[in-house]
A and B are shown apart, each in its own frame.
Chain A
């Protein structure tokens, strides 16, 4: 009898163990299939950010904002492109995300190259078709300022965690219409803490200012490949804004301040400064013309701002209350300049407050013809339109499009001036 009982107990235990094993196998199998289904969902969302997505040149995908919308199902690339291209508005919001800088490429077709601030990615946009695509996948976070030359040289400036200003000079080797967003932005880092940098595309050079040991600044010219820099300028005053025109002239502007006289010069190769104006101008801002002698300049006396044109020997005051920073020359030897003009007259100490990001404006676009002094309103967003505080305007080589940033949010816009007139 005891033997039979032992056999029964053993059998029961065996069945229990078998049952436990079966349950464990079933549970593990279920967990495996569950995890597999989650990985599939994660893999499909890897296209957020644009990497690997269908990034045809004429698609709107690729920008941070647009790809987040696509992944969220808000819109599709084709839908977005179609709606933008069919718009009859001369104004196009290229990228609502903050942009560090942009420029038009030289060539037969109009291409706008820009750099997003968050990631340093390079994008290529077509103002005619409203197409937009990412070109590079070289991550460079927190780009504060970027510049693009006519032949595709790209300057990206950032501030690292230690507060050091970094300057990267690169180029995208090949950016074709079928770019998939996987190009590499190759280049070199220039010396740290450059105060001001300006590119020149004609002679493949750049000019920069760096602090010297005497408490002032030195100015250097060097080639784009980073070969030895040559010092051509030195000053105890450290507040300068520089530009390097396509005609080879280096322009130095004493950094403006409302109500205080400022001066502007052409810097010669021997370091001498040749005045652009015969005397100081309060709160001077300037817009020199590459290849020409005409000049547009602004004055900010602390209570108001004025804009002047200088085509002959005597300056002419315009009716437009704006600063030269909001203006852009029509390319070529023209006497046409476009200016963004605040709808409401700027308040006192506007210039410094605008530079500090405290004051913002809502602008209309005006056109000035220096040959006869005629001023014309060319575009107004209207009461229900976008409120744009125009910053860093640039014009394409054909004189058709003006690209600019909205200082309020850093977004990138393009205005077709031929549609407005």
Chain B
């Protein structure tokens, strides 16, 4: 009985390589991936029509002296001794690249590694809940003390052309390298996050994966804290605020009286006259108190003469201590000349609206 067991065991032991060898003769691929052979793709989550660098690594095999053949969707891609790298280009969204690296070691050992590359696209959009004027074509940027509004649009396209809906995607949001657990989760494709600190910036990242893990993607962006930008415009009696032509220092206005409006781009405000904003105006060194109705505007009156007015304004916020902005402009009214001290008066009018000779 013992002898019979030994004979049967020997037969079983020596037959296994034959079976394995037979499989290798009938197919270029072996039926399993060796655990110590790995393909690394860079970038890890490529988009459509994107070159991808492939690298083969092993902790056990001498790849430098091994015969390596790369296959892309069953077709030979690259071949040679020690060819541990290859490059492929992804197709359109919805396509797949099946990559196989078949290795024959110097001692005849044959192993393979496989990976599948599915192009995905993650668009990471953001802006700030800050003020920009009507009809402004640019983006509202987040400033210190405000919020970032972010949205991730994940394009995980299946082979049948359908997209994996956001409800079936898990999103992981990171700000400054730290996971924001309150914003992350299944279907959490948008996030409200605090803006960077004053003069700082942050890296906003999002990782997305379908619930079945067949698709993955990631995106990141560097978001600086935008400074509050004060831009001065003329509030023209016929045309309104002339947003298309900002008043720059040294500007000349033909009229001897004109009203100017300062616009605080990216401020934490619903409008320039937001009650949380405090304006401090001065003209030619003299402070001028603000109008309660339109604190963001000032009217200059050269009293039928001409000259230059040095206008400056400081803006602060009632609750956002990071909001502090200053602006200054030199404006000529009614032609070229110099405002004399006597031409500048700050006596308060008794008329409604508190129309100053220099004021609002």
- A interface residues, Cβ below 8 angstroms from B: 98, 117-119, 141-142, 144-145, 157-159, 163, 165, 215-216, 235-239, 241, 254-257, 260-263, 272-273, 275, 278-280, 313, 325, 351-352, 355-358, 360, 391, 407-410
Contacts and interface: CB of A to CB of B under 8 A. Distances in A.
A238 B149 contact: yes
Contact of B127 (A119, A165, A239, A410): A239
A255 B139 contact: yes
Contact of A279 (B47, B137, B233): B47
A159 B242 CA distance: 12
Contacts of A159: 134, 240-241
A391 B244 contact: yes
Contact of B138 (A165, A351, A360): A351
B69 interface: no
15 contacts: A118-B239, A145-B135, A163-B273, A236-B191, A238-B129, A239-B140, A255-B140, A257-B138, A261-B124, A261-B221, A279-B121, A280-B123, A356-B136, A356-B243, A407-B245
Contacts of B136: 255, 355-356
A357 B47 contact: no
Given A351-B138, A407-B245, 16 more contacts: A117-B239, A144-B135, A163-B273, A215-B192, A239-B140, A241-B137, A257-B139, A257-B141, A263-B123, A263-B153, A275-B155, A313-B49, A355-B136, A356-B136, A356-B246, A357-B231
A279 B45 CA distance: 13
Contacts of A165: 134
Nearest to A352: B138
B190 interface: yes
Give chain B's interface residue range (CB within 8 Å of chain A). Answer: 35 or more
Contacts of A142: 238-240
A372 B248 CA distance: 42
A351 B246 CA distance: 14
Nearest to B134: A165
Q: Which of A254, A261, A357 has the most CB of B within 10 A?
A: A357
Contacts of B163: 272
B134 A237 contact: no
Contacts of A235: 125, 151, 190
A238 B245 contact: no
B252 interface: no
Interface in B207-264: 221, 229, 231, 233, 238-246, 248
B232 to A, nearest CB: 10
Contacts of B241: 159
A235 B149 CA distance: 10
B61 interface: no
B140 A278 contact: no
A360 B123 CA distance: 32
Interface in B145-187: 149-151, 153, 155, 163
B265 interface: yes
A278 B239 contact: no
A396 B141 CA distance: 36
A98 to B, nearest CB: 5
A254 B231 contact: no
B244 A236 contact: no
Contacts of A163: 271, 273
Nearest to B141: A257
A409 B239 CA distance: 11
A313 B91 CA distance: 12
A409 B242 CA distance: 9
Contacts of B221: 260-261
B126 interface: yes
B153 A273 contact: yes
A256 B243 CA distance: 17
Contacts of B47: 278-279
* Top 9 closest pairs, chain A to chain B, by CB: A142-B240, A239-B127, A118-B238, A255-B139, A357-B246, A257-B139, A236-B190, A355-B138, A239-B139
Contacts of B265: 356
A343 to B, nearest CB: 19
Contact of A237 (B127, B155, B242, B243): B127
A338 B240 CA distance: 31
A260 B201 CA distance: 13
A216 B48 contact: no
A144 B149 contact: no
Given A144-B240, A238-B140, A358 B248 contact: yes
A236 B151 contact: yes
A357 B248 CA distance: 10
Given A163-B273, A235-B151, A275-B155, A357 B243 contact: yes
